[in-house]
């Protein structure tokens, strides 16, 4: 298994070594070009370091020798293509099964589960772990058709990184969000999510209601901080429709304590958020289509805390703020609702 370093010397990502074996009498004899092997290499390149395909005839001994050679050569994943059908020369499963110390029934089922291709159910390919002289690898048999190769890679490819970790006896409780990622995606995820929240309180720089136009850019600038690598912004405006009716304008009426409610919500959301700063502003008075009615901004060292604080604050203001709105519709009618 090869290890590369991405962006930070503390983060390493394993690049599984993948060997592809094409099982075909005619391709081995040179009477038919190998299409499935090169396709498998191309598709599997997203999941590891892939070697050029090895081509062997439909013979049990030749197939087993090729698999053993791949293991001895350091392959983590061995992907065979061809020889999984019912013809007398289809012996790839018979060659592979005796080498396996553990079968992967779930993957075998996934290879055959394709409602769009009924013939997929006829594939007899096996999959599982091979132990050879203290070295472990994972073998999977794919059909010989290019369509079968595509389906097999789609089923197995996203699991390759997790499979190789298990081959090395890694922890079985890998985070669900990391399973199925390519090595590059896993490295990016590690680097971009290495921060953590310290549970500190965010500073509320402004929270209240106003009858003046909201300057969204100024609100965003107000939460900027040298320690904040992320600023999240909500910019809520009056739209020209509501529940199928055309909207001309909105008149907001605020309770005398509306500003205090916003301030209370802001402080409660900021407490223990691990973010840096928070600002919230809600309009009252007459607004036309396109005017800013509600804006909020949050900053934090990392985007997660900024997003989480912003969402929490916005949702609580929408749920609790004592502001009523009168919507004027294009047909001349209007409606009052008790919603921010």
Q: Where are the domains of the chain?
A: 17-168, 203-337
pLDDT band at 2 (very low <50, low <70, confident <90, very high): very low
pLDDT band at 3 (very low <50, low <70, confident <90, very high): very low
What pLDDT does residue 13 have?
47
Topology of domain 17-168 in CATH is Molybdenum Cofactor Biosythetic Enzyme; Chain A (3.40.980)
Instruction: Note if the pTM is more than 0.85.
Output: no
> How confident is the model over 97-106, as pLDDT tens digits?
999 999 999 9
Q: How many CB atoms lie within 10 A of CB 86?
A: 8
In order of 56, 125, 152, the CA distances from 217 in angstroms are 66, 60, 50
What pLDDT does residue 338 have?
73
Least confident of 48-52, 140-144, 184-188: 184-188
Give me the chain's average pLDDT, please: 89
196 versus 158: the higher-pLDDT residue is 158
139: CB partners within 8 A, 6+ apart: 67, 77, 78, 80, 96, 99, 100, 126, 127, 128, 129, 130
214 versus 165: the higher-pLDDT residue is 214
Q: Is 3.40.109.10 the CATH classification of the domain at 203-337?
A: no
* Residue 254 pLDDT > 80: yes
What pLDDT does residue 12 have?
43
């Amino acid at each position: 298994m090869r290890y590369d370093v991405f962006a930070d010397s503390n983060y390493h990502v394993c690049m599984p070594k993948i060997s592809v074996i094409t099982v075909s009498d005619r391709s081995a004899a040179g009477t038919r070009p190998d299409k499935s092997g090169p396709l498998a290499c191309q598709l599997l390149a997203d999941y590891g370091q892939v070697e050029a395909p090895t081509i062997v005839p439909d013979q049990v001994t030749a197939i087993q020798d090729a698999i053993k050679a791949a293991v001895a050569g350091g392959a983590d994943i061995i992907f065979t293509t061809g020889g999984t059908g019912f013809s007398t020369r289809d012996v790839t499963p018979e060659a592979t099964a005796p080498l396996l110390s553990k079968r992967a029934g779930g993957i075998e089922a996934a290879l055959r589960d394709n409602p769009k291709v009924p013939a997929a159910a006829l594939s007899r390919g096996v999959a599982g772990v091979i132990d050879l002289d203290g070295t472990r690898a994972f073998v999977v048999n794919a059909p010989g058709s290019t369509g079968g190769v595509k389906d097999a890679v789609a089923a197995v490819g996203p699991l390759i990184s997790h499979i190789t970790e298990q081959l090395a006896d890694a922890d079985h409780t890998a985070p669900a969000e990391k399973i199925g990622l390519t090595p590059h995606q896993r490295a990016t995820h590690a680097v971009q999510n290495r921060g953590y929240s310290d549970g500190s309180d965010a500073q509320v720089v402004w929270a209240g209601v106003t009858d003046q136009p909201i300057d969204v850019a100024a609100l965003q600038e107000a939460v900027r901080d040298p320690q904040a690598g992320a600023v999240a912004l909500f910019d809520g405006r009056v739209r020209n429709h509501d529940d199928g009716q055309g909207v001309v304008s909105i008149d907001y009426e605020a309770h005398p304590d509306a500003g205090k409610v916003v301030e209370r919500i802001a402080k409660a959301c900021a407490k223990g958020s691990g973010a840096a700063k928070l600002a919230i502003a809600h309009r009252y008075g007459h607004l036309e289509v396109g005017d800013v009615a509600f804006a909020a901004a949050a900053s934090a060292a990392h985007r997660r805390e900024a997003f989480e604080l912003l969402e929490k604050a916005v949702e609580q203001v929408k749920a609790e703020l004592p502001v009523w709105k009168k919507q004027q519709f294009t047909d001349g009618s209007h409606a009052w609702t008790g919603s921010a």
